[in-house]
Amino acid sequence: MQAFDYVRANSIAEAVMALSDPSTRCLAGGTNLVDLMKGDVEAPRRLVDITRLPLADVALAPDGGLRIGALVRNSDLANHRAVRERYPLLSRALLAGASPQLRNMATVGGNLMQRTRCYYFTDVAFGACNKRRPGSGCAAREGYNRIHAILGASPQCVATHPSDMCVALAALDGAVELRSAKGVRTVSLASFHRLPGTTPNRDTNVASDELITAVLLPPPRFGARVDYLKIRDRTSYAFALVSVAAGIAITDGRVTDARVVLGGVAHKPWRAEAAERTLVGSPLSADAIRAAADAAVAGAEPLRDNAFKVELARRAVARALRNAGAVA
């Protein structure tokens, strides 16, 4: 690990001021950043420890939604009564990630900012990684790419976003509140993370001087008709090969609203809007589910080692929809 300077922020204003220096990074749970610093993938010159800032509350919003402080730990969010009762999809996704120890450390803000687990990114022994060293190439595209993207990738990068939480937040139409010296702005989950394009070094649309202060959720629309299905190489403590967050609203026997978001398949949580459109207006029949699953993976471009993900994603979408629809 490279040497760095450490400061502890005593107020949000202090943290925002510290971030005006572009070589400064926020330290919250540290589960991803410290790991990457150990591998010299990240080498910030200064860390501002934000763990003591008053951003660790979950509060009901006036509109019936939820305001989740950026420093709420993953375990606390998953077990918050309002989340378990009203946003079970979010609890499920959080509990599917990492280990109890890591969930006790990891924060909402850090989870949003976590970086890909592409082996060619996390190991500096590989020279070619456009995400780590812009312009150096992509070792994964011609390398061992079993865990990589099947949707939305670019010639420059085939990495996937590793988060479970973000997949659920996207299905719940969440938004992220950001603060900088210039003021406060809100970005939807859908536009928070980026596709790689020609600048895969940028994971998100957050500027380096912005502090994540909260995640905002609108009132829940799907009740208990939700499912988070995670498929991985072992049944615990592993990243998703494919995951699906599904939510369905049914009135008078017909689907009136749906969300289908996939994890592990793209550079960001992948909202399958074509699948959602297929579902709305019809009963949740086996045929409708099959059509939605086909639509979810339409246009997939598998690499040499990850063609299995296309069929896996198709079946995972179908199963998640069946699970969500089976709830009374």
Partner 1 sequence: MRNPDDHAGSDLPSGRREATPTTPDAANGAANELSDAGSARRRFIVGSGALTGGIAAARYATAAPAPRTGATSTGVAGTRPVALSVNARDYVVAIEPRVTLLDALRESLGLTGTKKGCDRGQCGACTVLVNGRRVNSCLTLAMSCEGDKITTVEGLGDGEALHAMQQAFITNDGFQCGYCTPGQLCSAVALMSELRAGDASAVTRDIAKTGPADVSDDELRERMSGNICRCGAYAGIVAALRQVIDHG
Residues in contact with partner 1 by CB under 8 A are 1-10, 14, 27, 30-31, 34-35, 37-39, 45-47, 49, 51, 75, 78-79, 81, 84-85, 88, 91-92, 95-96, 98-102, 104-105, 224, 236-237
244 exposure class (CB count in 10 Å sphere: 0-12, 13-18, 19+)? buried
Nearer to partner 1, 86 or 259 (CB): 86
Minimum CB separation of residue 230 from partner 1 in Å reads 8
294, 314 contact by CB (below 8 A): yes
Nearer to partner 1, 104 or 136 (CB): 104
Q: How many other C-beta atoms lie within 10 A of the C-beta of residue 56?
A: 17
Minimum CB separation of residue 212 from partner 1 in Å reads 18
Minimum CB separation of residue 52 from partner 1 in Å reads 8
Give the residue from 257, 264, 268 showing the smallest Cα distance to 316: 264
What is the C-alpha to C-alpha distance for residues 273 and 260, in angstroms, rounded to an integer? 7
Minimum CB separation of residue 293 from partner 1 in Å reads 24
Minimum CB separation of residue 288 from partner 1 in Å reads 26
Nearer to partner 1, 1 or 298 (CB): 1
Nearer to partner 1, 74 or 130 (CB): 74
Nearer to partner 1, 200 or 325 (CB): 325
- C-alpha 185 chain-centroid distance: 19
Question: Which residues are CB-contacts of 11 (< 8 A; sequence separation ≥ 6)?
Answer: 53
Nearer to partner 1, 80 or 268 (CB): 80
Minimum CB separation of residue 226 from partner 1 in Å reads 10
